[in-house]
Amino acid sequence: MSLCWKLAWSYVRRHPLRMVLAGLAIVASAGMVIWVVSRYDALMAQLAYQTPQYLGRYDFFLTPENPDTGFLPSELVEPLRQDPDIAELDLGLQWSVRVLPDRPEGFPGQGLGGGGMGGFGGMGGPGFGGGTPGGFSGGFSGPGGSGGVGPGGFREPSPKQSPTSSPGVGPGGPLAGGGSVGGTGGFAEPSAKTSPSGGSSGGAIGPGGGPGGLTGPAGPSFSKKGPGGPAGPGRRGMWFGSPKLVGVQSSLPPYPLREGRWIDPTDSRARLTVIAQPLAEAMQLNLGDEVLVISGTKEYRLKVVGILEQTSNAPTLQKRSPTGRPMLSGPGPTLGPPPLALYVPQSLAEKIARKPGQVNLASLKLREGADSRAFRQRWLDRLASAEPPLLLVGREELRSAMEEGMWAASARRQAWSATGMALLAAVFIIFTTLSMGVTERVRQLAVLRAVGLSRLQVAGIIVMESLLLGLLGWAGGLAAGWGMLQVLAWAKPELFDGPVSLGTWCIGLSGASALGGAMLAAIVPAWQATRVPPGEVLSPPAARRPRWVWLLGLATVGLILIGVNPLVVFVVRLPEEARYDIYAAVGCTSMALGFLALTPLAIVLIEAVLGPGLAWAFRLQSYLLRSQLSSHLGRTLGTTAALSVGLGLYAAMMVWGYSMLEPFKPGDWTPDMLVAFQLGGLPESEVETVRHMPGVLADQCLPLAVEQPRLAEDITGSRFGTSVTRQDNVIMVGVEAERAFGGPNPVFKLQFVHGSAEEAIQLFQQGRYCIVPDHFLTATGLGIGDRFSVVPPTRPDRPVEYTIAGAVRLPGWHWMTKFSGLRRRSGRAAALVFAPYEQVRKDFDLKEINFFWLNRDKQVPVDETGKALADLAQRYPGSPQPVNQQGTWAFAARMYGSSVRVTLPEDIYDRLIQRADSMIWTMCQLPLLTLVVSSLGVINTVMASVRARRWELGVLRSVGLSRNGLFRLILAEGVLIGLAACTVSLAFGVMAGWCGIGISQYVSFFGGMETPLVVPWTKMAGGFGLAWGLCLAGAFGPAIAAARQDPLSLLQEGRAAL
């Protein structure tokens, strides 16, 4: 071994530049891992102190699995209290309420929360069918974290909580499932199973998003005012999450008081409350402020007397289907007190919630010295088997939930993604370096074999060189990563809680990528070295051209391997829960190997096909570029593969991202303006008034009857996992069929995939017929003529049945309805269903008109129409209409007055595209960074190529090739390598993106839509241009060095090498 080490070291010393370049690339890739993984390390470190923070004074929380509907059985309370280990048992009720700041400028619709009038749900709103009507779980909304999926909880991420918690800082991003493309209010992807290349990146496209743990808002990308339109009075910045009233019995606060004092738990008449810090920040409340708490139809005014130092990082209970989709439409219940809490005496909470004597949150404090493990063991089974089942949540459970929470999971996925990419880049960079070394040292290796070194010893030399590169890369990466963090800590100290250090995951994963890559990379070159026969010492080395039979054979194998993934995704019938695992383990792996096997042929063909054109462009003789790449296929393959790791993934992200976005972009079917009257409503007589308003095309203006009823049966299969097409409710939109679909100029320009407009109009006249989106048929398995039942919120005991008259394409309906107010009961819906206007009004008891969909005269400014609508609305004031809270966000639509909410498709489109671009760009950062790192390998490759051809170049110079010509020749070779990498990467990206779209249909929350394959050529051009440019830049140095040498020295050096 020492001899091998000695020979390896001597070779390294002889070729320092090559080793430095390769080492730099490994340093960069290891540094990249550290940059990304440091976030995870920081997160894990935070969890260590956040867990006790969340517990506060207590040791355990006890809560039903669904506190919205379940309560602690009274027969368990006394035995718990009697337990010898219990020092305190504080019983409380937590209940979703709607909260408004009680200020003169405040106005309904701008507060927080659900569960209010009309019973729309936030978290903990009453379940449907009980209590206040219409309480669906409210679909917790949080914008996806573009680079900012950090542990920020329900607010803008605390900068201290993660070094990469804000966009633009580090390449963290939502790469592994953090982000959702889909504009503001997009969600973090709940499942990692949406990436085109098997779990390495996530990102979800579409509006609304994952439930699941915690989502951190992206923060800076939001503006606090809505686009256009006069901002209504008292507007607050947007917030996400649902406030909860928490009843308390203890005279001590659960968390330290930040300001003010605690309440007297026995005095419910004082109408005082202590609020949690996240809520205070969200609503900009201070001590002494008053809030209106609305529950059902009643309002309670409470005065804030204290603010608690409560963490925003509250883990939630999250259940997933076997395919990885969430079981709930919104995030699960918190495992303890919610972050947006208002603490009141228990008796007051019971009164406000109208739940006398009910408890759904117990806080347990053990006595000093008690064994918490023993306590847990004693009670766990008994509590779990209670009716309803109860969760005993202590430090371990909280820690585990936090670690499985979305931020941690997202950070962990990103960490693994970064490691995987860095590992692959390292493998190919080191492989190329070693392979070049073996090729150049054939004679030397033969001498070593001739004088008596065994094959194993010769292989050992290569392995030692590789190990040296890996170690240098790892050490350098650690130093570089640590240095970057230090610089960041100096520049932005607010991002860090304490001194910067490299955590276990940083060190481990960076080591895995550097050393693991080194070992894997050494396999083939070491084997190549053992194949050098000792007899080679007595004959000069000959340049070997690849044999076509090998190339074609390898390419055939490659094509077969590539074909496996589409088969797994699109063809083979597999159980849904196994499909993703097979896709990731078998499909993606075989696809990657397949492209690797195809690459040699691709290189040869590109050289043959594009070489002449490139030679012409560089003003060279074509024969000069004829075999530069193919005669040294090993190093070209290694460099192309290294570049393709980043570039291929970049292309895959682009294809997948923009394809997944497509079904959510508002389509041509959408009329110009959707109007919601959110306070009160208009009588039938005012329809004509609206039709004749400035900017409204009279014959293109439809009043709508809108309700969001629950489906009577689970026809979409949402019980087995929710998605954008699998929910327990639909949005029914009653329209006048003739005006809506008929004639030469219908309001809705629908594309029917089943049935026709004429048939639908006829059937609508007969009664309960409807038009559904095409994906609804796919999700439910229903067809034209089939029926489904919905449950009117006002008459839950009398479901009504509708027959499907037609199916249409409705791209973008999610986004058109999300912020418009059309979603009256829940943040999610399975479909937008058109039905007869009068029938819907009758079935769902809709007396007033609250919605219009119209086309407008584009000559008239929108604001003019809006103002006219606002004036009309003022004549008909009334109660706030039921609406999901996203339909109240000021920034998300144009508000005119306090009632009129206007949604324009172009606004939606702009926001969506802007957000999508931002999200996808963030997802692509890591692959592009990998590309940049890999491009260092290009320099090595071109240098080696020049060195191998010195004699030939000397001859060319001797017979008349100018220095400039030689310079251009070397540059052209670099460009040719770039072209090879671009071609392979593009093919990989399209295939991976296509398969990623396919698998998303099964496992992603945003799957289920008809998703076309979109190749965003112009958007991808940037990345490919970068690759090309890097290759050109990489060839620059060697080209200059070669051009500067005089012919004689080239000849002499070349001859000496021979």
Partner 1 sequence: MVVPLDVEGLTKRFRQGQVIIEALRQVTLRVEQGQFVAVMGPSGSGKSTLLHLLAGLTPPDEGRIRVEGHDLAGLSDYRRTLFRRRRIGLVFQAFNLVPNLTAEENILLPALADGRPRRELTKRLEYLLTQLDLQDRRRHRPDTLSGGEQQRVAIARALICDPAILLADEPTGNLDTLTGQNLCRLLHQLSKEQGRTILLVTHEPTVAVWADRIVVLKDGGLVHEFASSEHRDPQRLALRYQQIVGAELAAEVRA
Show the beta-strand stretches assigned E in 861-1001.
894-896, 900-903
DSSP type of residue 818? H
Cβ–Cβ < 8 Å for 29, 426: yes
Which of 803, 696, 821 shows the shortest CA–CA distance to 747?
696
Output 10 or 964, the one with its CB closest to partner 1: 10
Output 10 or 297, the one with its CB closest to partner 1: 10
- Residue 574 makes CB contacts below 8 A (sequence gap 6+) with 568, 582
Burial of 575 (0-12, 13-18, 19+ CB in 10 A): exposed
Q: Strand pairing partners for 894?
A: 902
Min CB(468)–partner 1 separation in Å = 14
Half-sphere exposure of 502 (CA within 13 A, CB side): 23
Output 451 or 959, the one with its CB closest to partner 1: 451
Output 453 or 956, the one with its CB closest to partner 1: 453
Query: Which residues 450-489 are close enough to bind partner 1 by CB under 8 A?
Result: 450-455, 457
Compute the distance between CA of residue 1029 and CA of residue 1023 in angstroms, rounded to an integer.
Answer: 10
Min CB(433)–partner 1 separation in Å = 16
Output 62 or 446, the one with its CB closest to partner 1: 446
Compute the distance between CA of residue 1030 and CA of residue 615 in angstroms, rounded to an integer.
Answer: 19
What stretches of 727-861 show up as alpha helix (H) in DSSP? 737-741, 757-764, 774-780, 813-818, 837-843
Min CB(456)–partner 1 separation in Å = 8
Output 444 or 466, the one with its CB closest to partner 1: 444
Min CB(600)–partner 1 separation in Å = 25
Output 489 or 537, the one with its CB closest to partner 1: 537
Phi, psi of 369 (to 5 degrees): 85, -5
Min CB(538)–partner 1 separation in Å = 6
Query: Which residues 518-577 are close enough to bind partner 1 by CB under 8 A?
Result: 533-535, 537-538
Which of 1012, 677, 986 shows the shortest CA–CA distance to 851?
677
Calculated CA dihedral for residues 360, 76, 57, 67, nearest 10 degrees: -20
DSSP type of residue 664? G
Min CB(1051)–partner 1 separation in Å = 18
Q: Strand pairing partners for 789?
A: 801
Q: Strand pairing partners for 851?
A: 676, 704
Output 100 or 1051, the one with its CB closest to partner 1: 1051
AA letter at 896: Y
Would you call 366 helix, strand, or coil by DSSP?
strand
Q: Strand pairing partners for 304?
A: 273
Compute the distance between CA of residue 830 and CA of residue 296 in angstroms, rounded to an integer.
Answer: 26
Annotate each residue in 895-924 with x if it binds partner 1 (CB under 8 A) or - if it does not, as one string. ------------------------------
**Token pair of 902 as six digits:** 């206007």
Annotate each residue in 391-430 with x if it binds partner 1 (CB under 8 A) or - if it does not, as one string. ----------------------------------------
Output 400 or 457, the one with its CB closest to partner 1: 457
AA letter at 761: I
Part in contact with partner 1 (CB under 8 A); list of ranges 441-449, 633-641, 730-738, 831-839: 441-449
Contacts 24+ apart (CB under 8 A), 620-624: 620/965, 620/968, 620/969, 620/972, 624/956, 624/969
Min CB(506)–partner 1 separation in Å = 36
Output 2 or 685, the one with its CB closest to partner 1: 2
Min CB(1042)–partner 1 separation in Å = 21
Query: Which residues 7-46 are close enough to bind partner 1 by CB under 8 A?
Result: 7, 10-11, 13-14
Compute the distance between CA of residue 985 and CA of residue 141 in angstroms, rounded to an integer.
Answer: 36
Would you call 172 helix, strand, or coil by DSSP?
coil
Output 8 or 392, the one with its CB closest to partner 1: 8
Among all chains, which residue has been given the structure tokens 């280990």? 85
Min CB(454)–partner 1 separation in Å = 5
Cβ–Cβ < 8 Å for 884, 727: no
Output 5 or 71, the one with its CB closest to partner 1: 5
Min CB(976)–partner 1 separation in Å = 31
Number of residues this chain uses to bind partner 1 (CB under 8 A): 25
Compute the distance between CA of residue 201 and CA of residue 347 in angstroms, rounded to an integer.
Answer: 48
Query: Which residues 590-609 are close enough to bind partner 1 by CB under 8 A?
Result: none
Part in contact with partner 1 (CB under 8 A); list of ranges 355-363, 440-448, 481-489, 562-570: 440-448
Output 450 or 489, the one with its CB closest to partner 1: 450
Min CB(633)–partner 1 separation in Å = 23
Min CB(940)–partner 1 separation in Å = 19
Output 4 or 500, the one with its CB closest to partner 1: 4
Part in contact with partner 1 (CB under 8 A); list of ranges 92-100, 274-282, 444-452, 781-789: 444-452
Output 290 or 1053, the one with its CB closest to partner 1: 1053
**Token pair of 331 as six digits:** 């995030």
Q: Which of 6, 224, 367, 545 binds partner 1 (CB under 8 A)?
A: 6
Burial of 519 (0-12, 13-18, 19+ CB in 10 A): middle
Q: Which of 244, 399, 449, 775 binds partner 1 (CB under 8 A)?
A: 449
> Do the strands 751-754 and 800-809 form a parallel or antiparallel pair, or are they unpaired?
antiparallel
Cβ–Cβ < 8 Å for 232, 898: yes
Output 11 or 851, the one with its CB closest to partner 1: 11
Q: Which of 91, 448, 822, 946 binds partner 1 (CB under 8 A)?
A: 448
Part in contact with partner 1 (CB under 8 A); list of ranges 41-49, 439-447, 573-581, 1032-1040: 439-447
Would you call 106 helix, strand, or coil by DSSP?
coil
| 3-state DSSP helix/strand/coil % of the chain, to nearest 5 | 50, 15, 35
DSSP type of residue 887? G
Cβ–Cβ < 8 Å for 274, 302: no
Q: Strand pairing partners for 205?
A: 181
Number of H helices, E strands in the chain: 28, 26
Phi, psi of 666 (to 5 degrees): -55, 130
Q: Which of 444, 466, 639, 888 binds partner 1 (CB under 8 A)?
A: 444
Compute the distance between CA of residue 379 and CA of residue 372 in angstroms, rounded to an integer.
Answer: 11
Min CB(463)–partner 1 separation in Å = 16
Part in contact with partner 1 (CB under 8 A); list of ranges 5-13, 704-712, 977-985, 1009-1017: 5-13
Min CB(536)–partner 1 separation in Å = 9
Would you call 251 helix, strand, or coil by DSSP?
coil
Part in contact with partner 1 (CB under 8 A); list of ranges 449-457, 697-705, 715-723, 756-764: 449-457
Output 205 or 448, the one with its CB closest to partner 1: 448
Query: Which residues 176-235 are close enough to bind partner 1 by CB under 8 A?
Result: none
Min CB(1055)–partner 1 separation in Å = 12
Min CB(467)–partner 1 separation in Å = 18
Min CB(508)–partner 1 separation in Å = 34
Min CB(1001)–partner 1 separation in Å = 55
Output 87 or 447, the one with its CB closest to partner 1: 447
Q: Which of 271, 354, 395, 443 binds partner 1 (CB under 8 A)?
A: 443
Compute the distance between CA of residue 788 and CA of residue 307 in angstroms, rounded to an integer.
Answer: 49
Part in contact with partner 1 (CB under 8 A); list of ranges 4-12, 235-243, 399-407, 543-551: 4-12
Q: Where on the chain is the footprint of partner 1 (CB under 8 A)?
A: 2-3, 6-7, 10-11, 13-14, 443-444, 447-455, 457, 533-535, 537-538
